């Protein structure tokens, strides 16, 4: 029976942690939380005083109750949001000699031979994208189970992705290249290739119909000889570097 403990992964190479909760972000949570709670709470007290002074205690309770409930609901939401952020700060990815230890939504051990590929993409998040700059995300494709999404808030994520690919690709290139040479279909998510044809999702094309395959603006672009083109987001395509290498080296021109 294989050893499924973290020790079985061998020496630790590097650890990549989720962005820590800094003092500025903590202050922002506190200020927004205070505003979210104090505004309805203060208005509730004002409504209670006005109702009590003019119409008695029953009116005061009736008028102020929705605002007190809103303040309580806001307090609960702020606490849950802060707890969620603290849990995120505890996430990390550990790269070992023989595999990965993932402490993301749940703790998981993946040996290199249990991973079938990785897809990556760059994006600019949110309204303040210019200030925050380009971020990265990755999707791991285990041989068994659902894809694992790794979003861009991990520190030094590009370096982490590079280390993962350096461990995965030597084995995958050998296996996929042999499959390609044997004339079989080689699958890269929604894209598949063989020596005579290319398949984009459900549409199959002969290589004679394809003029050029390239990557531009986060898309795999397949330009056809009839001057039309088809695009697929690179984030959906595992091992895209191997795909491009096989096309470049193995497809007849």
Give the structural domain span for 134.
6-18+93-168
* pLDDT at res. 153: 84
Same domain, 14 and 125: yes
**CATH code, domain with 161:** 2.30.29
Render pLDDT for 9-42 as a digit per residue (tens, 0 to 9).
999 999 999 988 888 888 998 999 999 999 999 9
Q: Using one digit for the tens of pLDDT, what is the confidence trace for 26-85?
A: 899 899 999 999 999 999 999 999 998 988 899 999 999 999 999 999 999 999 999 999
Q: What are phi and psi of 227, to 5 degrees?
A: 75, 5
Specify the pTM: 0.80
Q: What DSSP element (H or E) covers 245?
A: helix 240-250
Is the alpha carbon torsion for 162, 167, 172, 174 positive or negative?
positive
Do 245 and 189 sit in the same domain of this protein? yes
Do 158 and 113 share a structural domain? Answer: yes
The number of domains in the chain is: 3
Asked whether residue 75 is assigned to any structural domain, the reply reads yes
Say whether pLDDT at 182 is over 50: yes
Domain-terminating residue out of 38, 66, 89: 89
Residue 128 in this model has a pLDDT that exceeds 50? no
Query: 62-66, 149-153, 240-244: which range is least confident on average?
Result: 149-153
With respect to residue 67, please indicate whether it lies within any of the assigned structural domains: yes
Give residue 7's pLDDT.
87
Give percent of the chain with pLDDT exceeding 90.
Answer: 67
**Residue 134: per-residue pLDDT:** 72
pLDDT score recorded for residue 1: 44
pLDDT for position 129: 43
């Amino acid at each position: 029976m294989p050893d499924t403990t973290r020790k079985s992964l061998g020496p630790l190479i590097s650890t990549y942690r989720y962005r820590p909760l800094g003092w500025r972000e903590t202050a922002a949570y506190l200020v927004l939380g205070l505003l979210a709670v104090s505004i309805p709470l203060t208005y509730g007290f004002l409504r209670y005083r006005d109702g009590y002074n003019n119409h008695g205690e029953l009116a005061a309770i009736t008028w102020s109750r929705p605002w007190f409930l809103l303040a309580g609901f806001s307090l609960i939401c702020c606490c849950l949001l802060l707890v969620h952020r603290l849990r995120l700060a505890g996430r990390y990815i550990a790269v070992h000699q023989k595999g990965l230890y993932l402490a993301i939504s749940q703790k998981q051990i993946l040996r290199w031979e249990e991973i079938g590929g990785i897809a990556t993409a760059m994006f600019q998040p949110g309204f303040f994208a210019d200030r925050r700059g380009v971020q990265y995300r990755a999707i791991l494709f285990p041989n068994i189970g659902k894809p694992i999404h790794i979003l861009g808030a991990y520190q030094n994520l590009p370096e982490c992705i590079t280390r993962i690919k350096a461990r995965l690709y030597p084995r995958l290139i050998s296996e996929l290249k042999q499959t390609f040479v044997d004339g079989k279909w080689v699958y890269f998510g929604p894209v598949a290739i063989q020596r005579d044809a290319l398949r984009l999702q459900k549409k199959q094309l002969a290589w004679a119909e394809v003029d050029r395959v390239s990557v531009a603006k986060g898309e795999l672009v397949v330009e056809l000889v009839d001057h039309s083109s088809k695009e697929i987001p690179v984030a959906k395509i595992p091992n895209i570097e191997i795909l491009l290498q096989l096309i470049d080296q193995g497809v007849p021109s």
